[in-house]
Amino acid sequence: MRFPARPATIPPQLPEWDTAWSRIVEARTSDGTHAFHVLDTLPALTAAGVEPAGTIVALHGNPTWSYLWRRLARATIDAAQSGGRAWRLIAPDQLEMGFSERLPHSAMPSPKSAEVRRIADRIADFDAVASDLFAEVAATGSAAHPIVTIGHDWGGVLSLGWAARNTDRVSAAISLNTAVHQPEDAPVPAPLRATLAGPMLPTATVLTDWFLRVTLSLGNLDAETKGAFHAPYRKAEDRWAIGNFVADIPVDDTHASDPELQRIGKDIAAFDKPALLVWGPKDPVFLERYLRDLRQRLPQADVHRFETASHLVSEDHDVPGLVLDWLSARFDAPDTANTPTEAAPAKDSSARSGTSASAKAPTSEAADGTASSSAADVRAVTAILDARHDDEAIASVDFAQNPAQQITWHHLWHVTTSIANGLRDLGVKPGDRVSMLVPPGNNLTAALYACLKIGAVAVVADAGLGPKGMTRAITSADPQWIIGELPGLTLARAFGWPGRRISVSPLGPVRSRLFKAETSLTELSRTPHRHELPTPAPDADAAVLFTSGSTGPAKGVRYTHADISSLAAVLTRTFNVTEGTGLVAGFPPFALLGPAIGATSVTPDMSVTKPKTLTATAIADAIIAGRATMVFASPAAYTNVAATASELDAEQKAACERVELVLSAGAPVPLELMDAIAEVFPTASIHSPYGMTEGLLLTDIDRDGVAAADATGGLGVCVGQPIDGVELALAPIDASGASSDELLQGKAAQERLGEFVVSAAHIKSGYDNLWRTTADSARDDLHGLTWHRTNDIGHIDDAGRVWLEGRLQHVVTTPRGPVGPGGLEALIDADAQVSRSSVVGIGPVGTQALVAVLDAEGTSLSPGLAPLDLSERLREKVAEAGGHDLAAVLVAPEFPTDIRHNSKIDRSRLAAWADSVLAGGPVRGNV
C-alpha cells in the first residue's frame, strides 16, 4: 500500500489561530521544489501599519505543527501594536507535516528506508523556506535587522543547527525542550524505546494516532486545543511523517543520521551568539541530561526552567512573554537595538545560571563600613579563617555530634585546606557545583569552606522541602558532586539526584558501592597541602541557596563571593561581632557564617528541620560550650525555649544571663514572645531582623521598638528600619493588585501600600536557571542602583518604620482600593477568641469582598460562620482601623500551611474554601 501525494493547504479556522497568518510558500529543496504551509505575521503587521524590526524563525518538532507558535504570533503582534519592537514571526510546517505538502510513500516508514527524510534534509528544507522569505524582505530594500531562531523538540536541535551554520545572518537562538546528544551510558527514554521497537513504530505513529495522543497529554491542553493539533493528522496517510521523524532519531552510532547529528552538535558548540534555553523539567522524553549537554555546548546561554511544565512547555506557561522579554533585554538596549548580529557575552557562570542583563555589579564593605564598588576590594569569604590558621582558640562546637565535638581555628583551617586539596585531586574544578546533604555543624562547615577555597559552588536545599521538593531543587541546580551524610546519600540514590558522591564518613566497601561513594571527607581531610589553591573572583558564584518553597517551587538563589563577603561585613558591623565573640546558631542560614565573621559558632542539639526541638537546656549548654554572648534562632525555636525554661539548672541560668544579644529571624516576633525570651535572657538586647533568602538581613527592630510600634496601633507587623547599607523604596500597588514600576522614597513613600524594593551589597545576584524571575525581580531605576523586588507588601510610617502586610500575590482588590491582608490579620489576631486568621478576597479583581477566615484549632470556635458577636466585633475593628468592610467572618476546620514555616498560610486554598462555603458548599473536608 502506498500513500498518495497531496498538495499544501491552508488550515481551517481553529482556536487562537488567525487564518490571515497562513500562506503557501514554494521553495527549492534538496530534492526538488515543494510547497510549505507557513505561519507568517508579516501581513498582519503590514495591515497595522508596522514595519518589522526583527524576525523570529520558528520550527516545530514531532508530532506538532506551526500551531505550536500561535501564542507567540499573537504576542508579537500585540507588542508591536503597543509600541514595542515589531518582530515578524515565520513558522513553517515541516515538509509532510502540518498543512505542508505530502509526498507519495509506502505505508511503513523504517529507519533504513530510502524514503526517510533525514535530519540533513530537514535543515535544508528550513534553510530553503527561510531564505526565500528573507529574500522578499531584501527585495523591498528594508534595513537589516536581527534574525532569531526558536525551536522545540526536534525542531529545537534543527533550528540550533541551522543558526550555528548561519551566524552571518542569525543574531541569537532560542530553544525549548530538545536534545543534541544521546549519552552512550544512558538508555533511550522509555517512551521512545517503546515507539522504536520493531513493528510498534508504524503502528504507534502512522496506522494509529497513539504517538500524537501521548504527546498531547504532556501539556495542559483542553479538548479544542488537542483537536487543533490533530487537525492535519486525521488520516494515516497524513501521519506518515510522524513515523518518519521517529525513524530518523539516531539512537546509536550505527544510525544513518548519526554523523549529521554529531556535526550539528559540534556546530552548536561553536555558536557564540546570545542563546536562551527554556525547559519543562517534567518532560519524560527530553530528560535533564539533555539540558545538561546543551548547557555545556552553549555556556553563554540564559536558562529559564518552568518547574511545573512538561514537554509542551509553551502550552503550560507564558513562553511568548518570556521570549519577548528576553529579546527586549538583548536587542532594545541603546547599544544593541536594530543590530543585525550581536557580540557574544562572556561564557561564565552567570550565563549558565540564568541571570538577567541587569545583574548587579559586586560591591563590598570597606574597613570603615562604607560600600565599595570595586570588586577587587572584596575580602575573600575565607579571609578570617585563613588569617587565624595558627589560632588554638575554639572556632566551632557541634552538639549534633555525640559526644559534642569542638575544633580550634587552626584545626578548622587545616581540615578545610586538606579537603580542598583532596577535592582538587578528585577533579573538582572552580565553578563545579557541590550539593551539601549535610546538616549544620562541623562537617558542613568543613565541606562548605573547603569548596569556597577552591571556587566550587555550594548547593544547599533545606531538608524541610521534603524528598519531592529537594529532588526538584537539586535537579534544577544540576550539581556535579554530592557530599552527604548517609540519610542524604540514601535520598540521592532513591531519587536519582545528579552528582558524583562523597560521603562524610567512610562507609566501607559494600555501602560505598551501594551509594556510589568515591571517597569520604574523613579521607580527604588527610590530603597533604600540596596545591596552590585558586582565588575565586568576587563575581564568581559561591553558593546556591534554595528558598522555602512556601509560595511555589523552591527557587535557587545565587550568591557570589562578593555577596557573601558583604553579608559577613554587614553582620559584623551591625551586631558588633569581634574576635572571640561566641554565637549559638540555631537558625541554619547563619550557622555557616561563623568562620566568615570570626565568631566561635556553636550548633545546638536540635533538628534543623524542626525548630521546636530546641530546648532551653540545649541552648544553655551551647552557650556554655562556646562562651557565647549571641544567640540566633527562629521564633518557633524560641517559643519552645521559653516553654522549657523551668528545666534550667543554676549553671545554665547563669550562662543565659551572660548573653548580650538575642536575634530571631524567619518570621516576625510578637512582643509577647520577646517578653518570654527576655525572661530567659534577662540582660540581653532582643532583636528581630527582617530578611529573606534573597537578602538575609535588611531591617532590624528591638524589643523596645516593637513595644513602641504596637502602641501606635499601626496595621501590620513592624520590622523596624533598614540597617546601615540597605536602601529601601516602595513600589505603589494599583487597583489591579500589581506593583508599580515607579519607586518612591522619603515622604512620598509614607503611608502608602506598596511592594518593598531593596538595594544592598549583600543582596542575591540572581535566581538560578530562572532568567525571567531574575529579570522581573531586578530594577535599575533609582540612583543608578540595582534593586530587588521582595514581593513583600506593606507601608512605611512617618517615622520611617517598615510595616509588613503580606505578600504581593495575596493583595485583595476591593472597590475602595487594594488591601494588604497582613495588616488586618494582625488586628484580628489580637482578639482574645482568635488564634490566627487569614484575610482573603472573593470575587473578580477590583471588586473583591473581604472575608476573614479564622483557624478553629486551639479555640472553642466551630467551623462555619463565626458567632455573630465575634463577627460584629471584628467588623468594627477593621472598619475603625482601615475603613474596610468585612463581608463575612468564617471559621475553617484547619489552616493549610507550609511544612517549614507554620506562619506561612496557604491563602489561595483558604480563599477557594471560603468561596465554596459562601456559595453553599460543605464546611468540613480538606481545606
Of 3.30.300.30, 3.40.50.11390, 3.30.1360.200, 3.40.50.300, the CATH number of 811-927 is 3.30.300.30
Task: List the domain boundaries for the chain.
Answer: 2-106+116-347, 377-694, 705-762+780-809, 811-927
At 229, phi and psi to the nearest 5?
A: -65, -30
Specify whether the CB–CB gap between 709 and 701 falls below 8 A: yes
Task: Tell me whether domains 2-106+116-347 and 811-927 share a fold.
Answer: no
How many C-beta atoms lie closer than 10 Å to residue 386's C-beta? Answer: 16
Nearest CA to 123 among 155, 162, 173, 156? Answer: 162
Residue type (1 letter), 679: E
State the Cα angle at 560 between 559 and 565, rounded to 5°: 100
Give Dmax (Cα) for the chain. 95
3-state SS assignment for residue 408: strand
Specify whether the CB–CB gap between 469 and 484 falls below 8 A: no
Strand residues in 723-830 grouped as ranges (E): 727-732, 754-759, 766-767, 778-779, 787-796, 802-807, 812-814, 817-819
CA–CA distance, 871 with 869 (Å, rounded to integer): 5
Contacts of 198 (CB under 8 A, 6+ apart): none
CA–CA distance, 164 with 158 (Å, rounded to integer): 10
Q: Write down the CATH number for the domain with range 2-106+116-347.
A: 3.40.50.1820
Residue 496 exposed, middle or buried by CB count within 10 Å (0-12, 13-18, 19+): exposed
- What is the grid cell recorded at 497? 539526584
CA–CA distance, 645 with 793 (Å, rounded to integer): 36
At 30, phi and psi to the nearest 5?
A: -65, -20
Contacts of 223 (CB under 8 A, 6+ apart): none
The residue with cell 458548599 is 921
Specify whether the CB–CB gap between 205 and 239 falls below 8 A: yes
Specify whether the CB–CB gap between 780 and 787 falls below 8 A: yes
Q: How many CA atoms lie within 13 A of 713 on its CB side?
A: 5
- Residue 247 — left, alpha, or beta (φ > 0 → left; ψ -120 to 50 → alpha)? alpha
Residue type (1 letter), 378: V
Q: What is the pLDDT of residue 22?
A: 97
CA–CA distance, 733 with 740 (Å, rounded to integer): 6
Q: What is the pLDDT of residue 338?
A: 33
pTM of the entire predicted model: 0.88
CA–CA distance, 73 with 478 (Å, rounded to integer): 33
Q: What is the pLDDT of residue 898?
A: 53
CA distances from 91 to 15, 133, 180, 279 (A): 17, 11, 21, 20
At 10, phi and psi to the nearest 5?
A: -90, 135
How many C-beta atoms lie closer than 10 Å to residue 704's C-beta? Answer: 11
Specify whether the CB–CB gap between 566 and 363 falls below 8 A: yes
Q: Write down the CATH number for the domain with range 705-762+780-809.
A: 2.30.38.10
Specify whether the CB–CB gap between 693 and 662 falls below 8 A: no
Q: What is the pLDDT of residue 355?
A: 42
- What is the grid cell recorded at 528? 597533604
Nearest CA to 787 among 751, 824, 743? Answer: 743
Q: What is the pLDDT of residue 80?
A: 94
Nearest CA to 148 among 180, 116, 121, 173? Answer: 173
* Topology classification of domain 377-694: Rossmann fold (3.40.50)
| Residue segments in the chain with a per-residue pLDDT below the cut of 70 | 1, 106-114, 137-143, 183-198, 333-379, 550-551, 588-589, 591, 897-904, 925-926
Nearest CA to 486 among 466, 471, 507, 472? Answer: 507
What torsion, rounded to 10 degrees, do the Cα atoms 409, 411, 415, 421 define?
80
Contacts of 179 (CB under 8 A, 6+ apart): 156, 157, 286, 290, 293
